[in-house]
Amino acid sequence: MRGYRGIKYTLFIFCYFFWVVSAILIAVGVYAKIAKEKDVVDTLTVDPALLLIMVGSVMFLITFLGCFGALRNSTCPLKMFLVILAVVFLLQIATGVVGYLFTDKVMERTEKLMMKAIVRYREDRDLENAIDFVQKKFQCCGVENYKDWSQNPYFDCLDTNPSLEACGVPFSCCIHLKNQTVHNTMCGYGMQMQKEDLASKNIFTVGCLEKILWWAKNNLRLVGGLTAGLLLLEVCMMSLAIAQISWIKKVRKKTEDNTAGRRTGRKDSVEFTDFPGFE
């Protein structure tokens, strides 16, 4: 009985933790969706706020089934939890395999998506903040190099471009000194007109795609460990669900057998009354 309780409450704790995380994701996504300016048009294939809501909703459903089934000792929610989690697990494995086998196509699609994000910069505040965060975090500029910003209409280096930021790059591309207290927000102006060796004194010139790949290769153990940890956790949750379902079925069968035995015993006592001298 102690073993069953251990399985039951371990599964519940895991599911409850991710249930709370999913609720936070939904809350953040809803807040971002409401707070976003109404006149701004979503520019990416999937709105980041909407993506958070979708992922959070799926997690909420899966973990709710796990929590409810574990606490109520109900096999139906547990089976649904197990099947959905198994499908998600297989999709993750398939995505990794496809990504490994078709690395070139994945990189091409990623580059196109990143370039599309650069083109739509300034049109979506969430997208703008995301690009600025990536460029500051990885100390990069553009997709392949800093001149990719000429694809953006605000930074396009044309004589007919009336924008004050023409031939420039965003402020997030600028190199900031450690002891610098006042930042020059116009440091990226006109940088596309300069050669790379001169521009590198003021801005990051290496593309973000190369920097992200470099970071992933240098932190391969961290990335692999996190991925393996997530998959192992999913396997543990599926194993706990299978164990609890098996235990519930075993207890139910034993209860049904005992009930049937008692009924049979009562029936026999009625049909075969103990008469004196009956052998």
What is the reported pTM?
Answer: 0.74
Phi, psi of 161 (to 5 degrees): -80, 115
Q: What confidence tier does 276 reach under pLDDT thresholds 50, 70, 90?
A: very low
CATH 3.20.20.70 matches 108-215: no
pLDDT at res. 35: 73
Q: What confidence tier does 170 reach under pLDDT thresholds 50, 70, 90?
A: very high
Residue 149 has pLDDT above 60, yes or no: yes
Phi, psi of 148 (to 5 degrees): -65, -20
Other residues' Cβ atoms within 10 Å of the Cβ of residue 74: 16
Are 122 and 152 a contacting pair, CB within 8 Å? yes
CA distances from 164 to 129, 135, 141 (A): 20, 21, 19
Q: Helix, strand, coil % (nearest 5) of the chain? A: 70, 0, 30
Sketch the domain layout of the chain as residue ranges. Answer: 2-38+45-103+217-245, 108-215
Mean pLDDT on 178-186: 69
Query: CA-to-CA distance for 279 and 270, rounded, in angstroms?
Result: 17
Residue 109 has pLDDT above 60, yes or no: yes
Number of H helices, E strands in the chain: 8, 0
Phi, psi of 178 (to 5 degrees): -60, -40
Residue 225 has pLDDT above 50, yes or no: yes
pLDDT, one tens digit per residue, over 13-53 is: 999 999 999 999 999 888 877 876 554 444 445 567 788 88
pLDDT at res. 159: 83
Burial of 141 (0-12, 13-18, 19+ CB in 10 A): buried
Q: How many CA atoms lie within 13 A of 135 on its CB side?
A: 30
Of 32-41, 244-253, 264-273, the one with minimum mean pLDDT is 264-273
**Count of positions (residues) in the chain:** 279
pLDDT at res. 220: 84
